[in-house]
Structure 1
């Protein structure tokens, strides 16, 4: 019978497209991963990978084998992790991805109480505004918004993701406030560039009557971080377009105010993503339940709405 180690090396190498990257994720050497895969191929009497100096690609047999063992490996690993939990409690390293500002504002404050309940869990939290490949990069869960659901991943919706226009409270002391979206062309805009493309997405404003209008501000500056955009707007440098989760604390503290409050941008939903598994690891399950319950108790779905 093939060892779990050999099969896991094969699966991770197929996901990563290289032995070296699979080794990094598994905490092994590249040579060890290559030997495990070679041993598996020898025992099965079939070649699973086509190797070259620049690439590692699955053979037809490798594709079939990955389809048959990939999901089963995840189920077995989850079962082992759940059985190995300390004193029957969820345990293990919990690798989570979240946006920098959002994570520090809404998720990091939960850590103390979460670890009091589940002391055998070790957080490995990544604060980054990029979209991660959860399966390939080995994340247990990710929080974000406006993403298409990739294969093998499910999501729990937490709240709407509405974008709003904000400016410093005194920004219009020497300017005439816009009366409609068409007036925005006269103003400097602080925009957030897409972490995927590096460009500004052409958002459309809408109101309760479902009328739509372009966000036609002058591009005065672009930022990669929503908090930086809020701080630039707070300094009077222009009108920023940011999501409500990022703008909320500035609005509630009076540091920013809404511009054209009857208009907003529909940016999709804010969701908690995790791998689709029949047997979800206990550490992931309790984290998902904890965050969902916290968002419900804090009424974030209502507070993150533009209306």
Structure 2
């Protein structure tokens, strides 16, 4: 009888281990992916090209993937965001215009503090890699300015799930603040011909921090079902600014976006209910 009892205890322990491993695998299979498109207002300044501010319209696309990992007992999520924007702006007297574009990639981790099944607080860090251009239609000597910078950014997030009648909603606020990085910037009055042809490149790579690159990207989103589809509404408030090599730049964008959310590799629990909160990244 003792041998049978011991065998049962061992089997129960093994089943618990297998179940925990299964949950971990399920957590890594539960992926939330979204793509949104939007348009909004932007304010642009680049004193390498002009001392004037330019304002106009901006279009943007954002693709995001978020999932849980096995790190720290399955409490860490991985977020991957790719976004690209194009803008067309004009100066105050409306006698000159610019085209501008930027590609941004964020990749990082957040530790999830689960307050309850519906509320999560996330804290972590992201890589923040950016590349783009500003082209002034009237300038002859220096018609364009290149944008290239990379940062380590601190990131925080609040995710709240709630229901209205039988419909599940997910609200989120996220803020990313670059803490330290590097930026390419010509010196004041220096041409790209001097840098890339003549080789006068001293000082064009600068270290950045909150002191000379005080920037923040803030995102408000709301996910909700419409029939068999899950819709996402975004409001993106993007503030990118710098003061490097006696040159000032800023881009202030307010973008309203709409798109679709898809949950991939969802595994249901045995009783048919959705996965527990611990296994959901979002």
Q: Which interval holds the TM-score relative to the shorter structure?
A: under 0.3
TM-score normalised by structure 2 residue count: 0.21
TM-score normalised by structure 1 residue count: 0.19
Q: Give the number of the structure whose residues are more often strand, by fraction.
A: 2
